[in-house]
């Protein structure tokens, strides 16, 4: 396992070097595998595996992000089970959605911290692209699902730019 992770990091470093020297790679990739995937294209689609994702999944997609690069993200679909077993507030005695068991995590706009998304993201889909300026050499997109939930999943487009 350690050798595999070291190999993946080496490939990411080589990719960052190649992108820095050649500027653009215009291949498109649909990444739906649930293993850790390093996405070497400057744009593509990330989607949950299968038509309705299997339960109890933990998937990661890693996008190398060279210095001075902006990452743009856009949801085309979001349908994950909503967690409602969170603490309610005095203003809202009903359980609230908190996306702890089932979620897609992506960087917050500005690149600081992560946001977890779950449920039906209709308003999020209408929003369009938003930009993230990553502070590290990679951006990780995660899918986590609870063993007892089944929904359609998600489809997320990404683009690297300067």
The pLDDT value recorded for residue 157 is: 93
**Using the 8-state DSSP alphabet, how is residue 54 labeled?**
P
Task: Tell me the pairing of strands 153-161 and 114-117.
Answer: unpaired
Q: What is the pLDDT along the chain (162 residues), one digit of tens a residue?
A: 445 444 444 444 433 333 343 333 333 344 555 667 889 899 999 988 766 666 667 889 999 988 888 889 898 988 887 776 665 555 555 555 678 888 888 887 766 778 888 888 766 666 778 788 777 788 889 988 877 666 778 899 999 987
What pLDDT, on a 0 to 100 scale, did the predictor assign at position 127?
72
CB-based burial of residue 142 (10 Å sphere; 0-12 exposed, 13-18 middle, 19+ buried)?
Answer: middle
Tokens of 47: 């989607």
What is the C-alpha to C-alpha distance for residues 155 and 78, in angstroms, rounded to an integer? 7
Q: State how far the Cα of 112 lies from the Cα of 131, in Å rounded to an integer.
A: 12
Strand-pair partners of 160 = 71
The residue ranges of every structural domain in the chain are 2-161
Q: What's the pTM value of the predicted model, to 2 decimals? A: 0.67
- The architecture of the domain spanning 2-161 is Sandwich (2.60)
pLDDT at 158: 93
Residues with Cβ < 8 Å from 125, sequence gap 6 or more? 75, 76, 77, 78
Residue 95's pLDDT is what? 52
pLDDT at 111: 61
* E strand spans, the chain: 30-31, 37-38, 43-47, 58-64, 70-80, 103-107, 114-117, 119-120, 130-132, 138-144, 153-161
3-state secondary structure of 127: helix
């Amino acid at each position: 396992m350690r050798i595999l992770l070291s190999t993946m990091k080496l490939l990411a470093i080589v990719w960052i070097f190649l992108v820095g020297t050649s500027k653009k790679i215009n291949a498109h990739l649909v990444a739906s595998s649930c293993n850790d995937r390093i996405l070497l294209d400057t744009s593509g689609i990330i989607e949950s595996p299968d038509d309705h994702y299997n339960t109890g999944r933990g998937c990661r997609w890693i996008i190398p992000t060279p210095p001075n690069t902006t990452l743009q993200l856009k949801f085309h679909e979001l349908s994950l089970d909503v967690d409602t077993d969170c603490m309610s507030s005095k203003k809202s005695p009903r359980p609230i959605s908190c996306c702890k068991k089932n979620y897609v995590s992506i960087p917050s706009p500005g690149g600081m911290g992560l946001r977890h998304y779950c449920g039906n993201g209709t308003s999020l889909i209408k929003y369009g692209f938003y930009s993230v300026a990553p502070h590290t050499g990679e951006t990780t997109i995660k899918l986590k699902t609870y063993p007892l939930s089944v929904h359609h999943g998600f489809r997320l487009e990404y683009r690297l730019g300067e």
